């Protein structure tokens, strides 16, 4: 299996070298909005520890990422009036992974509304900023 690349885009976001629309952060995880969302509020949750994907992540880091994903999903239901949540996680190129730092997609869904195709349209940064602020406030309670 290939090794972890510390210069992947998510590693750069974790180091503060690239910006993101952050919705949650603690000592072990970071969650931010996808810039090409498949639905409003589409959030990525990743461990801060270097992990290429599910195949090499430490079990405790994986468990924590999923706990954060659950918090995000519950807040998305309220904030976006979602009827459900889609959770996606891809591993290696053959599995659909594009960025090689473990991340989980949490996508709020409305009944009868299809998700946009992946990586097709960049959302307006002002829209993402507003959504991130609203979602972060809901997570704080």
At 79-123, the pLDDT tens digits run 999 999 999 999 999 999 999 999 999 999 999 999 999 999 999
CB 76 within 8 A of CB 65: no
Q: What is the DSSP code string of 69-123?
A: HHHHHHHHHHHHT-SEEEEE---TGGGT--SSS--EEEEEE-TT-PPPPTT--PP
pLDDT band at 68 (very low <50, low <70, confident <90, very high): very high
- In the chain, the domains with their CATH numbers are 9-140 (3.30.428.10)
How far is the C-alpha of 109 from the C-alpha of 93, rounded, in Å? Answer: 26
User: What residues are labeled active site?
Assistant: 103
How far is the C-alpha of 91 from the C-alpha of 103, rounded, in Å? Answer: 9
| Global confidence as pTM | 0.97
């Amino acid at each position: 299996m290939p090794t972890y690349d510390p210069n992947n885009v998510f590693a750069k976001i974790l180091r503060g070298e690239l910006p993101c629309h952050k919705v949650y952060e603690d000592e072990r995880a970071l969650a931010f909005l996808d810039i090409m969302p498949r639905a409003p509020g589409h959030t990525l949750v990743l461990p801060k520890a270097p992990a290429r994907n599910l195949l090499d992540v430490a079990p405790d880091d994986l468990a924590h990422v999923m706990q954060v994903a659950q918090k995000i999903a519950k807040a998305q239901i309220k904030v976006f009036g979602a009827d459900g949540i889609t959770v996606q996680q891809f591993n290696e190129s053959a599995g659909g992974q594009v960025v090689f730092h473990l991340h989980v997609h949490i996508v709020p869904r409305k009944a009868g509304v299809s998700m946009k195709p992946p990586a097709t349209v960049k959302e307006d940064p002002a829209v993402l900023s507003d959504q991130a602020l609203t979602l972060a406030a809901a997570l704080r309670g």
